[in-house]
Structure 1
């Protein structure tokens, strides 16, 4: 788990996970390393650069401390 860096939302928590399924409206169900599942959408920069997210991809999810069941996918591992 990492804390926010420059250019990220203050107080956001970053954690790695694996995409379990793709949902409508560019939403994804991601299983985190600790076993929890969250609903995540793609960050604006990833959408702008047409980075595709598929099931079984390893990703970094940024979670808000206010709602730990939703997040934003900020990085896809190669």
Structure 2
């Protein structure tokens, strides 16, 4: 149940409490995102400045899931 058909790319601006991250998308919008289960299980370390792939929520476009960190 994704909000969009294809994931968006953004840059992590800052880490927040409770495993949340503020992410600025390439189009300039800012969203709150948390790591998806697969990224969390693989213990992917997400730092400010990292490029990430984000899937937006269908219910709330201001929130999403970080699918993966991009190289």
TM score, norm. by length of structure 2: 0.90
Structure 2 CA distance, aligned partners of 1:66 and 1:48? 25
> Considering only CA atoms, is the larger Rg found in Structure 1 or Structure 2?
1
Structure 1: give runs of 5+ residues left out of the alignment.
Answer: 1-8
In 1: Cα distance, 2:46 partner to 2:57 partner: 21
Contact 2:3 2:59 in 1 (8 A): no
| Structure 1 partner of 2:19 | 26
Unaligned runs of 5+ in 2: none
What TM-score results when the alignment is normalised by the length of structure 1? 0.83
The SS at the match of 1:62 is: strand
Contact 2:3 2:61 in 1 (8 A): no
The Cα shift of 1:17 comes to 0.3
CA RMSD of aligned residues (A): 1.0
1:4 alignment partner in structure 2: none
